[in-house]
Amino acid sequence: MLEIKCPHCGKRSQNEFAYGGDATIKRPKLGEEVSTKDWDDFVYFRDNPRGKHQEFWHHVSGCRQWFKALRDTATHEIFNTAKLEEDL
């Protein structure tokens, strides 16, 4: 069980959080013309790196804030967490 530092609340056990996927993915702007390939990349395709991964987490049983974490997918080491407006 991981120990995750919520940037708003501090260190908490993993069971308070929900994983939210790749944090480098940007949703296309509303109303914007999007090619099928770009849209498919946004909806379906994700890198599956071994090593550092920027990802979203949701403090779902806590402050209910979404935030970013930099985690090693092989070792589960979490190098840093940050509020959404901050850099990791």
Partner 1 sequence: MTGTFRTTIESNLINKSKIVNFIFNGDSYQGFEGDTLASALIANGVHLVGRSFKYHRPRGFLGVGVEEPNAMVQLHEGDKSEPNIMATEVEITEGLKARSQNCWPSVKFDIGEINNILNRFFPAGFYYKTFMWPKSFWMSVYEPIIRKAAGMGVAPIKPDPDRYEHNYEHCDVLVVGSGPSGLAAALAAANNGAKVILAEDKAHFGGSLLTDNVTIGNQSGQEWADETINHLKSLPNVIVKNRSQVFGYYDHNMTVMFERVSDHIDNPSEFTPRQRLHYIRAGEVVVSTGSIERPLSFGNNDRPGIFLASAATEYMKVYGTLVGKKPIIFTNNDSAYKAAIEFNKNNIKALILDTRENSDGDLVKEAQSLGLDIKFNSGVADVKGRLKISSATIGKLNSDKDSFSDLEEIECDCICMSGGWTPTVHLSSQAGNKLKFDEDLDAFVPNNKRQKETAVGSANGSFTLKQSLAEGFQVGFDLSNSITSNNKNTTVPTSKESSYQAHDKFWCMPLPEGKKPKRFIDFQNDVAVSDVELAVREGFRSIEHVKRYTTLGMAGDQGKTSNLNGLQHVSNIQKKIVPEVGHTTFRPPYTPVTIGTIVGREVGNHFQPTRKTPTHNWHVENNVVFTNAGLWLRPRYYPRGNETMSDAVNREALNVRKAVGICDVTSLGKIDIKGPDAAELLNRVYTNAWMKLPVGKARYGVMLREDGMVFDDGTTTRLSENHFHMTTTTAQAANVLSHLEFYLQVVWPELKVNVLSTTEQWSGAAIAGPKSRDLMKKLFPSVDFSTEAFPFMGLVETEFSGIHVKLYRISFSGELAYEVNVESNHGLFMWNKIMEVGEEFGIQPYGTEALATLRIEMGHVSGPELDGRAVPYDLGLQGMVSQKKDFIGKRSLEKNAFVDPERQTLVGLVPVDKKTKIPEGAHLVENDKASLPNPKLGHVSSSCWSVEYNNPFSIGVLKDGKNKIGQQLFAVYPLKNISIPVEIVSSHYVDPKGERVRV
Question: Taking CB under 8 A as the criterion, which residues in 23-82 touch partner 1?
Answer: 27-28, 30-31, 34, 36, 39, 42-44, 56, 58, 60, 64-66, 75-76, 78
CB neighbours (10 Å) of residue 23?
A: 19
Torsion of CA 14, 86, 84, 22, to 10 degrees: -70
55, 71 contact by CB (below 8 A): yes
If one asks whether residue 3 binds partner 1 (CB under 8 A), the answer comes out as yes
Q: For binding to partner 1 (CB under 8 A), which residues are involved? A: 1-3, 13, 18, 20, 27-28, 30-31, 34, 36, 39, 42-44, 56, 58, 60, 64-66, 75-76, 78, 84-85
